[in-house]
Amino acid sequence: MPEQRTAEERTDPVEELGTFLRRSREQIAQRWADAALFRTVFTVSRDEAVEAGRAVVEALAAVAAAGRLEDAEADGFAVVREQLARTAHSRARTGATLAQISAEMDALRPPVNDLLLDELSEAPAQHLRECTTALTVLMGTLRLVMMETAMSAGQELINRQRLELLEIATPVIKLWEGIVAVPLIGTLDSARSQVVMETLLDAVVEQHARIAILDITGVPTVDSLVAQHLMKTVAAARLMGAECIVSGIRPAIAQTIVHLGIDLSSVLTRASLADALAYALQQQGAHIVPAPAGEPE
Amino acid sequence: MTGPAAFPHEGHVPVLRLGEVLLVTLQGDLYDSTAERLRQDIGQTVSDSAVEVSGVVIDLSGVEVVDSFMGRVLSDVAAMTRLLAAQTVVAGMRPAVAITLVELGLTLPGLRTALTTEDALRLLGAEVSVPSRDGRPRGERP
Amino acid sequence: MTHSTGDVSACLPIHSDLDLVRVRQHVRQMTARLGFGLVEQTKLVTAASELARNALVHGGGGQMECTAVTSGGVRGLRLVFSDQGPGIVDLDQAMSDGYTSGEGLGMGLGGARRLVHDFSVDTRRGSGTTVTVTSWISRPPGPREAP
């Protein structure tokens, strides 16, 4: 490296990158606004895209100034994380895959690189190389942050949907005065069994139901854990003063239950929901009788 | 430990008499000693009464926690009253309490239960209304 | 990895009947404040009641430490019960259902274990017993359960 260069002319490459980014933020933001990542998110106003780009460049400048090029947790990123999450989220919503978003992130680097090369055209090759390397590292970290936010946004969505599904999948139906039923459809796991139990018992209180029917016609398999949950639900209902009937145990499931050696003898069972309802009505003192002949059906 | 509702009862839980039925309403958080004394009080009342007692209703709708100690008191009361030819019905247990008791392993098989105090009284009333002129123990199931 | 959030922690003595009530009320308030669902609240309060009574009856009294913790973004409550009693001679036996060395239905330790997510016992003959339990918020409270 030429010794005659003075310190203030050629400083540390990372620091120099920070200064460059801050100085060129307007130009970079303008170029980014035309890049796919920003263009497809901010479809209505180009000014907004420029604004967003400016915020990201400033964040990068701050990270470079702090010398934390490889640190995804750097303070500078915290400022733009929300911005990035919004961008990633809206790209994902329009059907872009993570690979696509990643490619679009890559496309942000060349324009900055070009500007950097123009700016440093006079600089020695060694310094130039160091500066472009620093830029590559910084953009790599930005991409990491972006991917991270995109994925955590996805995870949040999945978690929320899982919870919503649990609620939706557990409807309580009032069949008659004092009789409620929960028809279960789909696989029962431990978490869902818990929700079913709580929902059913809450309904018993709210509807003042002396009889609760758990219909498992739509449940494909019953393992010992699920059977245990069913028994717990029945036992808890009894403690509250209600009777819980399990209906719709298909022959295949009955076989599995026997095979697993599960003792369901403490549980009142009926073959179908209709049988369970007939039993429940009878318990309530109501009887179903066929209409006399001649009367309209 | 702020509102009056959160304050525990110390000492005495009143045992009300409604005809042939004793009504005990538990509220809030009970001291072990209070529960212990309740067990004795009910036993005394059932055995001493000049008029025969056919049933005991314990209203748990105001109780947020039943642990194994309280569970034992309930079982004991039921066993004791059964010896004296009376029935114990636990009424109004909350869902969270019921789930917890089951998870704890206490299904209290000897206890009769009802959704509300009214249901419990009806349950006992229906059973004691069976004529017992022949001197059979009351409260026997048909 | 479990982090103590540190800001909410308390130590309650267990020396009398009244202390059992205080332990239950404190755990109820903490679980409600942390956003536990009603059933999870009740389970942890009941477990605390069992363990506090164990410390009182078998350990000759002791204390409960109550700390809010987080792990992997999930919040929870950790309770540590300790006494300086004689210790548990046969832990396996003490953990089995139906075993009791005093009053109760013999559901103390084994029952409490089923009511919490994490459970550990450290006991040494002659130098007391420490039981540590933790429960985590498994799902946001439903509208009915909001405090």
Q: Domain holding A234: CATH number?
A: 3.30.750.24
Q: What is the pLDDT of residue A244?
A: 95
Rg (CA), chain A: 33
Is residue A5 in some structural domain?
A: no
What is the mean pLDDT, run by run of 10 residues, along chain C of 147 residues?
62 93 95 92 96 91 93 87 83 65 57 92 87 82 37
Taking the domains of chain B in order of start, what are their residue ranges? 9-128
Cross-strand bridge partners of residue A212: A180, A244
Regarding whether A200 and A155 lie in a shared domain, the answer is no
Is residue A52 in some structural domain?
A: yes
CA distance B104 to A112: 64
CA distance A255 to B77: 41
> Which residue among C18, C46, C103 places its CB closest to the CB of B65?
C46
The H or E element that residue A164 is part of is helix A125-168
Cross-strand bridge partners of residue A183: A215
Å from A54 to nearest chain B CA? 53
Residue window 179-198, chain A: list those with CB within 8 Å of chain B: 197-198
CA distance B131 to B138: 9
Domain that holds residue A206: 173-283
pLDDT digits (tens, 9 = 90+) for C94-125: 776 655 554 444 457 888 999 999 999 998 88
- Walk me through the domains of chain C, giving residue ranges and CATH numbers: 3-136 (3.30.565.10)
Regarding whether A100 and A33 lie in a shared domain, the answer is yes
Amino acid at A254: A
- CATH number of the domain within which A105 lies: 1.10.490
Is residue A177 in some structural domain?
A: yes
Give yes or no for residue B96 having a pLDDT over 70.
yes
This model of the complex carries an ipTM of 0.82
Å from C49 to nearest chain B CA? 7
Mean pLDDT of A70-83: 80
**Yes or no, beta carbons of B106 and C41 under 8 Å apart:** no
Considering A141, A164, A187, which residue would you say is the last residue of a domain? Answer: A164
Backbone φ and ψ of C13, nearest 5°: -75, 150
Can you say whether the dihedral through the CA atoms of C39, B62, A200, A276 is positive or negative?
Answer: positive
Cross-strand bridge partners of residue B53: none
C144 chain-A contacts, CB cut-off 8 A: 202
Q: Is C143 on the interface with A (CB under 8 A)?
A: no
Regarding whether A146 and A78 lie in a shared domain, the answer is yes
Regarding whether A177 and A160 lie in a shared domain, the answer is no
Which comes out higher in pLDDT, residue B97 or A63? B97
What residue of C is the nearest CA neighbor of A206?
Answer: C144
CB B92 within 8 A of CB B60: yes
Residue window 196-235, chain A: list those with CB within 8 Å of chain C: 198, 202
Q: What is the pLDDT of residue A214?
A: 94
Regarding whether A153 and A102 lie in a shared domain, the answer is yes
CA distance A106 to A143: 8
**Yes or no, beta carbons of A163 and C139 under 8 Å apart:** yes
> Which residue among B93, B103, B107 places its CB closest to the CB of A240?
B93
Two structure tokens written together for C130: 């420490």
Regarding whether A132 and A28 lie in a shared domain, the answer is yes
Give me the number of domains chain A comprises.
2
Interface test with B, best of C12, C14, C15, C21 (most B CBs within 10 A): C21
CB A236 within 8 A of CB A205: no
B71 chain-A contacts, CB cut-off 8 A: none
Regarding whether A66 and A155 lie in a shared domain, the answer is yes
A126 dihedral zone (left: phi>0; alpha: psi -120 to 50; beta)? alpha
Considering A164, A190, A206, which residue would you say is the last residue of a domain? Answer: A164
CA distance A33 to A36: 8
* B9-128 homologous superfamily: STAS domain (3.30.750.24)
Tell me the CB-side half-sphere exposure of residue C121, using CA atoms within 13 A.
Answer: 21
Q: Is B120 on the interface with A (CB under 8 A)?
A: yes
Q: Is C135 on the interface with B (CB under 8 A)?
A: no
The H or E element that residue A244 is part of is strand A243-247
pLDDT confidence band for B109 (50 / 70 / 90)? confident
The H-assigned helical ranges of B5-67 are: 32-48
Give yes or no for residue A236 having a pLDDT over 90.
yes
Regarding whether A140 and A185 lie in a shared domain, the answer is no
